[in-house]
Structure 1
Amino acid sequence: MADLTLGSTSPAERPAPSRRRVQNVNAPLWRNAIFVAPYLVFFVLLLIVPLFWGMWMSLHKADAFSTGRFVGLANYTRLFNDRIFLQAIGNTFYFVLLTVPALALIGLLLALALNRQTRTAAVLRTVFFASSVLSVTIVTLIWRIVFVPGFGLLSTVYGWFGATAPAFLSDPKLVMIAIAIATIWWCVGLPMMLFLSALQQIPGDIYEAAALDNAGRWRTFRSITFPSIKRTFVLVVVIQIVLQFQLFGQARLMTNGGPNNVSTPLVLYIYDAAFKRWDLGLGAAASEVLFALILVAAMIQYLVSRRKGEDA
């Protein structure tokens, strides 16, 4: 006992414990910014800088060789006094109305029909999605072969019944419908896959309970399926609004904006103004108008859908 007492040290003689820096686990670690820095650099250089550069250029009389002088809102005044520009806005909205509802509904119907764990459904999903990976050049070439008058595929089918096919690419009333058909065929794969992904997240137990209650297909879809994929439906509509407002390649390659500019969308007008007439200030102003239209249309759709969801 005495030895134990002699070998022990008093608290005053014990070495003080080393003070470690206690780090708050919720505090931000700025060194983690290194991981997102490459993305931020490209995001700023390729999106933010061009956005503000375009706004600045739209206020100047610019061409391919110099920025020119500051003209304020003169480019915007020229735009809204241009009949072709106003017609291009109407053409773009008409095209969006033709394509966005059709893409959302057809994509949803395809997803509902192909949401099966069978080999046939897997093959059909691949077939319907395959068109989405094609370039716009191939898509327009295919549909020009379909719509070309006289010896196109559509004319051949009409000829079997002794009828004459409509001149889709030269009729002012049908030309935008032809471009919309080609676009829907090309773009329907993405909405279909998004809806399939959302449908496969719905638990199967809910459908089993609905079957026990003798719920029909329409009631099951209205009460279970659609409420479960409502957010995906809104996402698909917003994505398609943004994409279809940017119509360019199909109109450029199928009709070149004709006849009489009835198939000239806003992006084709911007291309003609900036790269054919070398009026970069006017093209930049038209680009800002297009950006504002896309932003407003997407936000209206999002807010309306969100309000309906809250009311429900």
Structure 2
Amino acid sequence: MTMTTPGARALADASAPASAPQDTPADDRRRRAAARRRRGLRDALAGWSFIGPGMVFVLGLSIFPAGWAFVLSLQKWNGFSTPKFVGLKNYTTLVSDAEFAQAVTQTGLFVLLFVPASVLAGLFLAVALNRQIRFIGFYRTAIFVPFVASAAATGILSTYLFSPQYGLVNNVLRVFGIPAQGWLEDPRQAMLVIAIMSLWGQAAFTTVIYLAALQDIPAELLEAAKVDGANPWQAFWRVVWPELAPVTVFVTIWQVIGAIQLFDLVYTTTRGGPLDATKTIVYFLWEKAFKGLEFGYGSAAAYVLFLITLLITIGVVVYARRKNLEAF
């Protein structure tokens, strides 16, 4: 039997490894928090690696051109010679430019003709298409087809329909004994024709937005209105229309912005004529910048257009919020 002396036991205890200290709950929480932060950082880096290149591309195509256009608006440059800094001269010249004032007036006229008509037409078509009838899918698709048609196709169709000599519209008028009209060749009627053709192509957008909003209205509200004795007209104005008010604010702002930027249909039909009756702000700045090679002057007109658009948008949003129509 082996005997262990006190000295041997002390030596064995000294050579044994020390036991590891026990983790406290606070240490465990800190370790889990650090692990979560590392996982969050990895997820964030993975997300930015996917969207980063696209974001750089989008910002490069928006912020850089906008900044460069502002610099150009303070210069006089024809695209070839050395730019000459002129400060705010381009902007002060725009204020007294009668041609620019006429372009602003014609753009405002188009907005007044197009925007209310497009909103009302979209609402009417959406209500008509918000029902379960035979071939409803075909009707909804047919309504949206003009929206995806190119501006060139719409312009060619406009020229064919409203030609004073051989246009289909004048041929129909002659059948009813009404004199032929000048349409696109008449300064008093050309902008009206542009508004009609824009309505034909763009009303589908408001229709789709309104249709989605109508389908999002709870059926219980309409059923409750019927139980209370409301007829379809009363149910629309008392139940449906208040639910559509925020959507109306959104589509109005969207259509106003699109109307202020009208260019393609004018370019493919009248080229700003006759007698500048359809020359809009965008066509004016395009003409100055790319035909007259006045890039600084055209850039100044573009920034004035941006300011007009911004002020109109802010005004509509402020009005909507005061009326508790939260569309944004």
- Global fold match (TM > 0.5): yes
What's the CA shift for 1:96? 0.8
1:242 maps to 257
Tell me if 1:309 matches 2:324: yes
SS of 2:257's equivalent in the other structure is: helix
Paired residue for 1:16, among 22, 34, 51? 22
Paired residue for 1:54, among 66, 69, 73? 69
What's the CA shift for 1:250? 1.2
Deviation readout 1:27-77 (Å, 9 max, x if unpaired): 974423333312321232011111111111100111212451210011112
> CA separation in 2, counterparts of 1:310 and 1:183?
27
Tell me if 1:292 matches 2:292: no
What's the CA shift for 1:158? 1.1
> CA separation in 1, counterparts of 2:154 and 2:220?
42
Deviation readout 1:60-114 (Å, 9 max, x if unpaired): 1112124512100111122222211110011111101111111111101100111
Paired residue for 1:36, among 24, 27, 51? 51
5+ residue gaps, structure 2, are 1-17
1:257 maps to 272
Paired residue for 1:119, among 134, 159, 166? 134
Tell me if 1:102 matches 2:108: no
Change (3 A) 1:310 1:96: closer
Deviation readout 1:226-247 (Å, 9 max, x if unpaired): 1212221111111111111111
> CA separation in 2, counterparts of 1:280 and 1:159?
47
> CA separation in 1, counterparts of 2:321 and 2:186?
40
Taking the TM superposition and a 5 Å limit, the aligned residue runs for 1:145-160 are 145-160=160-175
Pairwise CA RMSD of aligned residues? 2.1
Q: Which has the higher helix share?
A: 2
Question: TM-score w.r.t. structure 2 length?
Answer: 0.86
Q: Percent identity?
A: 37
2:14 maps to none
| Range with greater deviation from structure 2 (280-289 or 44-53) | 44-53
> CA separation in 1, counterparts of 2:188 and 2:70?
35
Paired residue for 2:85, among 70, 85, 88? 70
5+ residue gaps, structure 1, are 1-11
Paired residue for 2:197, among 169, 182, 188? 182
2:236 maps to 221
Q: Does structure 1 conserve the Cα–Cα contact (< 8 Å) formed by 2:144 and 2:204? A: yes
Q: Does structure 2 conserve the Cα–Cα contact (< 8 Å) formed by 1:114 and 1:122? A: no
Q: Does structure 2 conserve the Cα–Cα contact (< 8 Å) formed by 1:60 and 1:67? A: no
What's the CA shift for 1:118? 2.4
Q: Does structure 1 conserve the Cα–Cα contact (< 8 Å) formed by 2:122 and 2:204? A: yes
Change (3 A) 1:310 1:236: closer
Change (3 A) 1:25 1:292: farther
Which residue identity lines up with residue 22 of structure 2 in the other structure? A
Q: Does structure 1 conserve the Cα–Cα contact (< 8 Å) formed by 2:164 and 2:185? A: no
> CA separation in 2, counterparts of 1:296 and 1:67?
34
> CA separation in 1, counterparts of 2:238 and 2:310?
32
> CA separation in 2, counterparts of 1:67 and 1:126?
53
Q: Does structure 2 conserve the Cα–Cα contact (< 8 Å) formed by 1:57 and 1:67? A: no
Q: Does structure 2 conserve the Cα–Cα contact (< 8 Å) formed by 1:247 and 1:267? A: yes
Taking the TM superposition and a 5 Å limit, the aligned residue runs for 1:137-152 are 137-152=152-167
Which residue identity lines up with residue 121 of structure 2 in the other structure? I
> CA separation in 2, counterparts of 1:48 and 1:60?
19
What's the CA shift for 1:25? 6.3
What's the CA shift for 1:165? 2.2
Q: Which has the larger radius of gyration?
A: 2
What's the CA shift for 1:258? 1.0
1:201 maps to 216
What's the CA shift for 1:161? 1.8
| Range with greater deviation from structure 2 (206-215 or 74-83) | 74-83
What's the CA shift for 1:154? 0.8
